[in-house]
Structure 1
Amino acid sequence: MRLTTRGRYAVTAMLDLAMHGGEGPVCLNEIARRRDISPAYLERLFRNLRRRGLVCSTRGAHGGYQLCRCAGEISVAEVIAAVDESLDATACDGDCGGLTHDLWEELTQHVRRFLETKTLAELCEARQREDAARELREEA
């Protein structure tokens, strides 16, 4: 199992959108600048995210993207699946007969269940707690 750049960037961009989406539609160039991701790459990712109904787009001078659902209703697993990222650790089609196939299949299920329980809202809250703790340390 490999979580590639595509999956990591999709989760990062969706988290950024969740954090800044309360201010209205967010331009991909803003996300690209904040997260140091190519705008062209984000366009491709967001095309898939839009097709899966995770983001909605608004055209025009004040356009951009917003989450289509509440951040608490979007799991990390959904985001990864939306950009066609595989979470399969077995590296076979299910009938390989390998000695360790069952082990890797079980790992895949654990990772999938874990990512299904993590929402964008939870990640936002964790980030806010980290930022608040950092500010307190800097003030001390």
Structure 2
Amino acid sequence: MKISTKGRYGLTIMIELAKRYGEGPISLKMIAQMNNLSEHYLEQLISPLRNAGLVKSIRGAYGGYVLAHHPSKITAGDVISVLEGPIHLVEELEEEEPAKRELWVRIRDAVKEVLDSTTLEDLASYSKHDGDAYMFYI
């Protein structure tokens, strides 16, 4: 399984919105600039997130996007499933021998558990502390 840029950049959008939850809307242009990403690509990703009810758009001169729910209520799994679809590690799983099928199912379920138990609040909190980490130069 490989998470594409759709999933990765979609999570980036959602984490930025979570960091600023309750502060008003933030534009995709600002998110793109802060993360050195293509604004045009982010515009393509925000639509399915809005259609899924994860974000709301605010119109106007000071408009942008906000999370539709508190960051503790949205998981990484919610975002990834909207942008990437269901998690599949192996094609034609039913055709695998039982021992291997069990392994693939357990790995899939473990990945799903991590994604579904990690909230945007968790990710926003973690990324806020990135600047607090020590930097060592060799």
1:62: which partner in 2?
62
Question: In structure 2, what is the equivalent of residue 101 of structure 1?
Answer: 101
Report if the CA contact (8 A) 2:3-2:84 is conserved. Answer: no
Matches within 5 A, 1:1-140: 1-92=1-92, 94-98=93-97, 100-134=100-134
**Contact 1:3/1:87 (CA < 8 Å) preserved in 2?**
no
Task: State the secondary structure of the residue aligned to 1:57.
Answer: strand
What is the TM-score when the length of structure 2 is the normalising length? 0.88
Q: CA RMSD in A?
A: 1.8
CA contact (8 A) 2:54 2:69 kept: yes
Gaps of at least 5 residues in structure 2 are none
- Following superposition, which runs of at least 4 residues in structure 1 exceed 3 angstroms of deviation? none
State the Cα distance separating 1:40 from its structure 2 match.
1.4
Q: Aligned partners of 2:130 and 2:40: how far apart in 1? A: 30
CA–CA separation in structure 2 for the residues paired with 1:22 and 1:120: 14
How many angstroms apart in 1 are the aligned matches of 2:31 and 2:91?
Answer: 33
State the one-letter code of the partner of 1:53. Answer: G
Instruction: Judge conservation of contact 1:3–1:85 (CA < 8 Å) in 2.
Output: no
Using the aligned pairs only, state the percent identity: 33
- Contact (CA 8 Å) 2:21, 2:70: kept in 1 or not? no
Alpha-carbon distance in structure 2 between the residues aligned to 1:121 and 1:63: 23
How far does residue 129 in structure 1 lie from its aligned partner after superposition?
2.7
Structure 2 counterpart of 1:30, which letter? M
**Contact 2:75/2:120, CA 8 A, preserved across alignment:** yes
SS in 2 for 1:22: coil
Q: Please say if residues 77 and 112 of structure 1, whose CA atoms lie closer than 8 Å, have aligned partners that are also in contact.
A: yes
SS of the aligned residue for 2:22 comes to helix
How far apart in 2 are the matches of 1:121 and 1:97? 38
Structure 2 distance, partners of 1:8, 1:54, is: 16
Contact 1:90 / 1:104 at 8 angstroms: preserved in 2?
Answer: yes
